[in-house]
Structure 1
Amino acid sequence: MIAAALARLPAPSIALWSERAAPASARFVEAFDVRVEDAAALAEIVAGIERTPLAATALVQLLRLGASLDVHSALVAESLVYSMLQAGPEFAAWLDAQPVSDAVESEPGPAVVAIREAARLVLELNRPRSHNAFSAEMRDALCEALAVAAADPGITEVVVSGRGPSFSSGGDLREFGTFADPATAHMIRSTRNAGRMLADLADRVTARVHGACIGAGVELPAFAARVEAKPDAYFELPELSMGLVPGAGGTASIPRRIGRQRTALMALTGRRVDAATALAWGLVDAIV
């Protein structure tokens, strides 16, 4: 009865609970959106919710719904919620607060370098000066390369990595707010969705990550059957601070690795997760 009430609650629910508590209470705690073990962590989450309450509520509702959906339906739900928030006041306020971006010199070469090695296809994100910010150009190039793997059964392994100091610093902030309208943005995500393609190819995909793995930089690798991280890798979901939810597939991919509550913890706080913690949680499969 309480679980059903929590599932309908139009706000995030937080359980203050420790592993030292009575084991019988563990199942009850699973019904909450997020679990913390101390007052400091509770305050951190509450502060995140208070900054962007609309996005925070949309996030937990999306994660609740996603738990009952297949990965492709969860991606559709995520895109719809993301588009809704793109038209909301919290995202507008974040956009208004951003400084005008200086012109940035374009980087040479393709946004994604594809290398065929017999039955292996190696895909390297190739915008190192921007820490491989996930731009529309990079999204389209990655989708094109993944389409090759999907069409060729002779490709039995796909390895995705990033050149430069980071795997990916997440969405290219210079492009935020440049969408024509939320409906068109949803259609673009429906037709050019690297997360969906990675989910379809997951059994063949290994992601090798290092440095900053932020936003799309953690959301996309989480679809892979195997994720290998360098010791310097760290992971963040900063979208709530912008009045958004993860939009590169993270609400579909990350809960399938670390569960709904830890996904909510990352998103509601924007907390940095180091490689050792990511391994303990199952966000990555090995530190190499």
Structure 2
Amino acid sequence: MNPADPVLTRREGAVLTVTLNRPERLNALDAATLYALADAWHEAADPAVRAVVVTGAGRGFCAGADLRAPRDTSRPGSTGLRHTYHPHVLAMAALDKPVIAAVNGPAAGAGLSLAAAADLRIAAEGAKFVPAFTAIGLVPDAGGAYFLPRLLGYARAYEWLATGRPLTAAEALTWGLVSEVVPAGELLSHATKLAHQMADAPGIALGLTKRLLNHGLNVGLAELLDEEARLQALAVAAPGRDQARARMVNRMSTTREER
């Protein structure tokens, strides 16, 4: 691995850490970064990887599109998005494992959408969340309009996207955009520890739970219950599930005896 690469990956057991690595540009997204990020999602899809942490190098998580990078004028806006950001959002959503965004600094524009596409977000105390789209006359991209209303509710998401005001880590915690705020020096170790805990879960339940929750956002109750039954059958048959159930039964029996 070249430390100058725009995206770095590191495997520790079943946890893959993906680091955006353009600290001098607050990890803004240019063509080379997006190309390298596609390789990272391919690596994350390996069944041996059971949890993924996404973070940024230096003092920023991701400043969104690199507005100083040369523009590709060969494609109209809609086609450009379909070839740049959309494959990454879809790749993250397709991962059958938890994705944790360790937001170490500013997450703006498409960088905010990237964080929102993760399953969980943990923020450093100095992190900021900036929906910078309307300030440059654009609608939210990279899936922001899909994820943010689901995380925050329509009215709060619209007000925030329309005004574009920066949100502190503490405010993001109050709003429910992030699940935890930790000191900057502890962020990556904390996120990685959580990823290892999730990776150690027995069977395939975490991936199936992600699939079930996302399915439930878009269907009615009856359809959700059908999918629940189908996925539960897969979970029951998964390797390691019987041993996990036996451990739980033994733990319950021990607890009763202690009483």
TM-score by length of 2: 0.65
Q: Tell me whether 1:110 sits opposite 2:8 in the alignment.
A: no
Question: Alpha carbons of 1:287 and 1:187: their partners in 2 closer, same or farther (altered >3 Å)?
Answer: closer
SS where residue 207 of structure 1 aligns? Answer: strand
Amino acid of the residue matched to residue 144 of structure 2?
G
| Percent of pairs with identical residues | 39
Query: In the TM superposition, what are the counterparts of 1:125-144 in structure 2 within 5 Å?
Result: 125-144=20-39
Could you tell me which residue of structure 1 aligns to residue 165 of structure 2?
271
Could you tell me which residue of structure 2 aligns to residue 124 of structure 1?
19
Question: Alpha carbons of 1:176 and 1:261: their partners in 2 closer, same or farther (altered >3 Å)?
Answer: farther
Question: Whole-Å Cα distance in 2 between the matches of residues 228 and 256 of structure 1?
Answer: 17
Query: Is the Cα contact below 8 Å between 2:52 and 2:97 reproduced in 1?
Result: no
Question: Whole-Å Cα distance in 2 between the matches of residues 169 and 185 of structure 1?
Answer: 19
SS where residue 161 of structure 1 aligns? Answer: strand
Calculate the aligned-residue CA RMSD, in Å.
Answer: 2.0
Question: Whole-Å Cα distance in 1 between the matches of residues 105 and 60 of structure 2?
Answer: 4
Query: Is the Cα contact below 8 Å between 2:50 and 2:97 reproduced in 1?
Result: no
Alignment gaps of 5+ in structure 2: 183-259
SS where residue 134 of structure 1 aligns? Answer: coil
Amino acid of the residue matched to residue 25 of structure 2?
S
Question: Alpha carbons of 1:277 and 1:202: their partners in 2 closer, same or farther (altered >3 Å)?
Answer: farther
Question: Whole-Å Cα distance in 2 between the matches of residues 176 and 234 of structure 1?
Answer: 26
Amino acid of the residue matched to residue 133 of structure 2?
E
Which residue, out of 166, 171, 196, partners 2:60?
A: 166
Alignment gaps of 5+ in structure 1: 1-106
Question: Whole-Å Cα distance in 2 between the matches of residues 253 and 247 of structure 1?
Answer: 11
SS where residue 95 of structure 2 aligns? Answer: helix
Amino acid of the residue matched to residue 58 of structure 2?
G
Could you tell me which residue of structure 1 aligns to residue 137 of structure 2?
243
C-alpha displacement of 1:258: 1.0
C-alpha displacement of 1:202: 6.8
Question: Whole-Å Cα distance in 1 between the matches of residues 159 and 147 of structure 2?
Answer: 15
Question: Alpha carbons of 1:202 and 1:266: their partners in 2 closer, same or farther (altered >3 Å)?
Answer: farther
Query: In the TM superposition, what are the counterparts of 1:73-222 in structure 2 within 5 Å?
Result: 109-150=4-45, 152-175=46-69, 177-182=71-76, 184-189=79-84, 193-201=87-95, 203-222=97-116
After superposition, give the CA deviation of every residue in 1:142-172 in whole Å (9 maximum; x if it has no partner): 121111222x111001111111011111110
Query: In the TM superposition, what are the counterparts of 1:12-23 in structure 2 within 5 Å?
Result: none
Query: Is the Cα contact below 8 Å between 1:203 and 1:225 reproduced in 2?
Result: no
Question: Alpha carbons of 1:130 and 1:279: their partners in 2 closer, same or farther (altered >3 Å)?
Answer: same
Question: Whole-Å Cα distance in 1 between the matches of residues 124 and 163 of structure 2?
Answer: 24
SS where residue 253 of structure 1 aligns? Answer: helix
Question: Alpha carbons of 1:229 and 1:189: their partners in 2 closer, same or farther (altered >3 Å)?
Answer: same
TM-score by length of 1: 0.58
C-alpha displacement of 1:186: 4.2
After superposition, give the CA deviation of every residue in 1:38-69 in whole Å (9 maximum; x if it has no partner): xxxxxxxxxxxxxxxxxxxxxxxxxxxxxxxx
Q: Tell me whether 1:282 sits opposite 2:176 in the alignment.
A: yes
Question: Alpha carbons of 1:219 and 1:186: their partners in 2 closer, same or farther (altered >3 Å)?
Answer: closer
C-alpha displacement of 1:203: 4.1
Question: Whole-Å Cα distance in 2 between the matches of residues 128 and 276 of structure 1?
Answer: 24
Question: Whole-Å Cα distance in 2 between the matches of residues 279 and 201 of structure 1?
Answer: 25
Query: Is the Cα contact below 8 Å between 2:34 and 2:84 reproduced in 1?
Result: no
- Number of paired residues? 180
